Chains A and B, each alone.
Chain A
Amino acid sequence: MGRTLTDRLALVAQARAEAEAVVFGGGSLTFAGLEDRAARLAGTLKALGVRRGDRVGISLQRGLDMPVAVYSVMLAGAGYVPIDPAAPPPRMQHILRDCGIGVLITQEARIAQVADAAPGTGLHSVIGVAAPLDGLTTLPFDAALQGVPHREPLGPDDLAYIIFTSGSTGVPKGLTHTHASALAFVDMATALYDLGPNDRMAATSALHFDMSCMEMFAGLLSGACIVMVPEAHAMMPASLAHLLDEQRITTLYTVPFQLIRLVEAGALEARDLSALRLVIHAGEPMPPRPIAQLRAVLPHARFSNFYGPAEVNGVTHWDHPPEGTDPSAPVPIGHACAHADLLIDGETPDSGELLVATPAMMRGYWRRPDLDAACFVTRTGTDGTMRRYYRTGDLVSRRPDGALLLLGRADRQVKLRGYRVELDEVELALDAHPAVSEAAALLSPDKLRILAFVRLAPGQAAQEADLHEIAARRLPAHAVPASIRILPQFPRTATGKIDRRRLLTEDTAQ
């Protein structure tokens, strides 16, 4: 079967050589073409001095070059480190330095950012840029594809990728995944979602977001074709709906925000989405109402909530029942995926912090033994054997039917005048108002009040007093927000999540 991601790519490239592997705009690559380009680029990386176990940076927007770059780094024996193309130079610099990155694969549009970030790091070569850069070797992408094909023999414990997350203190931390942990995810996801050669999967995730493992690994290695969604389509729901129709997309895996936008502004009724068999949402809690609206246009599709922190990737799933999603109850994260063992660490056996053991778990944080010591614990698993578990920091409770509910981050559970308040519960109470599309609740900087923000669905109206009333009806008095503001839009992170930190600055600015 192949014990590394690159072995698996070789197998698919042999079995489905001439089948379409990647589509972007008017261009495409076959599986053989993808593997060949990746091996040639790997040859160039070797010539630039990349060795087994090294780290190579990738800062690319979605396009045909993205999967070529990903597999080329691994064929060279290195691990890839995705860097947000929109990252400010100090963040790029931190990652380059922290990972000892010597070679970066990027694009012309990033020149200024790279020039700012490079000084003081070990960066010596930049692929994807033709113009000269002070003190750096530059090489256009096409020229880099002329290398002598290289396919480094690797084992399951070799480094595959390092993804950086923000970290609660604002210092980015790297998560180290191996070929073994990535393949454990691939095999589980392929079976769970029945992925295969008949699928055309929309790739909507940024590479520095762990959701991209679904398309880059599970999609491609199951023999599916991945359709890279241009960045602009992610902002224009009607254009995204057009692409889903025109490209006969079968599976869409994305963040709740994207699905909400599709429902609100995608004009889905005008589209033929009969090919779309599977819609998966992940990344943050999904308000239940848009799922019911989506189901009305996609009555034949399977809808699934997929949950898991990037440290372990997806580990639980919940399929929305075909008879409908309760618009006033939170969407459960559901049940353990086949490769995961779950424990609940709390005052009762059914409520507390979720611990996960899985072969898809990261090897550890990159050069942060302090973080490793805090996040890994050894416990007796449900099968009686001792295993290493990852502390998710997420609070869950078990419903009578066994499905897990996500109560929120342990750090989203706040103490207010001695009372415990779940901020996610406050958001859900506001979501219950029919005019509300999304809600966000947070603690004021002085930690004395709860501040809430809502965004209304298009064409809907509501007064702040009405929202206050619904919150007061559904929440204990101490959890009712001191202020509820209606905003036309929410600030978003690069991955489409609500940016709660920026909400707070905007509130203070008023």
Chain B
Amino acid sequence: MTDPRAARLSQVQGFIETTLLRGRAIGGGEELLLSGLLDSLAVMALVAEVERVSGRPVPPTDVLIENFATLDAIGAYLDRQDSA
């Protein structure tokens, strides 16, 4: 049985690695924003992907560095959205 949370996050990971970074693998704690890996267009695409995967909008107030800085942070944010 697959954990739906893990499946959801691995979709986001796949999107970052394949679409945004053209085949570069990332680690869960790897800094995506402060390292300059993602530019501003990529960040907006990432937010849209998170919305698509979770089926819920990400309100502007949640588009914060602490929620999108790493893959782990995105996972934690999605989990918080679940319990909200």
Contacts and interface: CB of A to CB of B under 8 A. Distances in A.
**Do A and B associate with each other?**
yes
Interface of A: 61, 85-86, 109, 230-239, 242, 264-267, 270, 458, 488-489, 491-492, 496
Contacts of A231: 33-34, 36
Contact of A85 (B34, B36, B43, B65): B36
Given A232-B69, A489-B44, A239 B64 contact: yes
A86 B36 contact: yes
Contacts of A236: 33, 43, 63-65, 68
B36 to A, nearest CB: 6
Contacts of A267: 60-61
Nearest to B38: A235
B2 interface: no
Contact of B65 (A86, A239, A458): A239
B82 interface: no
B35 interface: yes
Given A231-B36, A232-B69, A492 B41 contact: yes
Interface of B: 33-36, 38-41, 43-45, 48, 60-65, 68-69
B36 A233 contact: no
Given A233-B65, A265-B60, A109 B44 contact: no
Q: Name, among A233, A234, A238, A488, the residue most crowded by chain B CB atoms within 10 Å (CB to CB).
A: A238
A266 B60 CA distance: 7
A242 B33 CA distance: 17
Given A109-B35, A232-B69, A489 B64 contact: no
Contacts of B36: 61, 85-86, 109, 231
A458 B60 CA distance: 10
Contacts of B41: 489, 491-492
B34 A230 contact: yes
A238 B69 contact: no
B2 to A, nearest CB: 31
A109 B60 CA distance: 30
A158 B79 CA distance: 58
A66 B40 CA distance: 21
A238 B60 contact: yes
A230 B31 CA distance: 13
A236 B68 CA distance: 10
A264 B63 CA distance: 12
* 6 pairs of A and B residues whose beta carbons are closest in the complex: A265-B60, A232-B33, A235-B40, A267-B61, A235-B43, A239-B65
Contacts of B45: 489
A232 B65 contact: yes
Contacts of A86: 36, 39
A238 B39 CA distance: 16
B61 A270 contact: yes
A232 B34 contact: yes
A491 B45 CA distance: 12
Q: Name, among B38, B43, B45, B61, the residue most crowded by chain A CB atoms within 10 Å (CB to CB).
A: B61
Contacts of B48: 488
A137 to B, nearest CB: 25
Contacts of B40: 234-235, 492, 496
